[in-house]
Amino acid sequence: MSPIALSDAELAEVMAAAHLVPVDLRQAFLEKVAVRLRGEDLGPGLVHRVAFEIARGIAWDAERAAATA
């Protein structure tokens, strides 16, 4: 997968969202963000919405898995 170009503000949004994700799941988080953003007209608002939506989903799934283990 080829990288996508993010501005400093967009990268800051992705990094902020990544803090919600368990360390062992951050690679999957970054891959999902890249897939969702590919081909989109990027801007800090879109990147924020996508990154935090994905981060919340991953974090929520990880919490549920830990609670049932």
Q: Tokens 């891959």 label which residue? A: 31
Residue 62's φ and ψ, nearest 5 degrees, are -65, -40
Predicted TM-score (pTM) of the model is 0.86
Structurally, the chain folds into a number of domains equal to: 1
The answer to whether residue 64 scores a pLDDT higher than 80 is no
Residue 31 lies in a domain: yes
Q: Which two tokens stand for residue 42?
A: 């990027």
Structural domain harbouring 37:
24-68
Tell me, yes or no, whether 11 lies in a domain.
no
Q: Which residues contact 14 (CB under 8 A, 6 or more apart)?
A: 6, 30, 33, 47, 51
pLDDT tens digits, 3-53 = 889 999 999 999 999 999 999 999 999 999 999 999 999 999 999 999 999
Torsion of CA 22, 26, 32, 34, to 10 degrees: 140
- Does 14 reside within a domain? no
* 59, 32 contact by CB (below 8 A): no
The pLDDT value given to residue 1: 66
> What pLDDT shows up at residue 11?
96
- Residue 48 within a domain: yes
Is the pLDDT reported for residue 2 higher than 80?
A: no
